[in-house]
Structure 1
Amino acid sequence: PASRPAVPLGGGGHSAPPCLAVLTVDVAARGWEMEAAACLERHGVVSLPALLSAQQLAEIAEAVALADTDPATADFVRLTRNAEGRVHKALPLGGNGREALSAVTATLWPVMRRVLQTARPPLVGAGWMRISPGAERQSLHKDVRGYDRHPATGELAACYDVPRALSVQVQLSDTAGATLDAPVGALEVLPGSHRPDGRHGGRGAV
């Protein structure tokens, strides 16, 4: 998924966040799986451009299009921050959706198995979002209810005390050309905020 570092939080004496180049791993390089897993451990986020093939992206887009036209698709918009101008629905796991997600999982598996440390990770959920021009900017948040780390937090558990989860975002639209003057919806990430090591992912260590 594409990512763009956000403005660092004030206070705490921490250094500026790494640039996108530091968060990007070349999937054509030998040993990219280990480097991607290491980046996730260090920063809580990794960008893997060109990992998925054009065919895989087309299959995901087709599954999304089918879900968009199906009135039975679960609608998440009431749970969405700044929902105006956004369509947010589930990606059904039948037919095309299952095949598309299986292909993505197989491609990511060399990284996932190292990060999740299991041979059979459960799928917690799958969904998609379409953002229209003029939609409001969302404030920084973590897509795990109750676990945002940029506000004040209490004591956080160490990484070996809690289960791990991995969020995967696939950009079907090119947002690489986004700028502050001409934003096009690129994902912004505060490096460190999603680290699996809770103690080092707290406000003072981001």
Structure 2
Amino acid sequence: MNVRIAISFLWLMLQFAPLHAQQVLVCDGASHFPIRDVLVMADGKRVGMTTWEGLIQLPDSFQTASFKKKGYAPEKLLREEVLRDTVFLFPAEHYLDEVVVVGKQMVDGRALLEKMPKRDILEKRPRAVLGGFDLGVMLDKRYRRDKRHVAQLREVFKKMDKIGEKEDPILKAYRETQMELRADSIKQNTLKKHQDTKQ
């Protein structure tokens, strides 16, 4: 009986216990020194700026918190990630804004495939020693796995060839993207010329 009373009293005390805001330390990711004047927002609402010690009080309940300061890459973290009490911001000089990969040489895959020597795991297998019976091939798990894998890949390639029998789908997507980029640049140039003529 006393245990039930104690548990219910403890439960009532927890119901009325005040919830405290969480204090978070914001540090430099490279030097691990606290950063002052970091703009902190919780769920899109401004919370404040960090103190000279790099500390900030976050509200009781929020979903995401974002940390921004000039010269540092911004961080947007979920509540569970912020609960570890320390947030590291990394200097923006260590980040790349955008990476563009441009291919200078296009290779025709089908022509390359025709030049390659013919070697087919599904049709050619090692020569059997005893007339047609080879225990080594029968027990070779890797050979059976490779054979099954090649059969699956052939099915995938057959489906891809049916989709674009006339043209390689990757080359088609590349050409369409290039045409869209050209159309956008022409449109921007005409708009710029039109604005220049108005002035």
Q: TM-score range by the shorter chain?
A: under 0.3
Higher strand content, 1 or 2: 2
Q: Which has the higher contact order (CA 8 A, sep 6+)?
A: 1
When the two structures are superposed, what TM-score results if normalisation uses the length of structure 2?
0.17
Higher helix content, 1 or 2: 2
Larger radius of gyration: 2
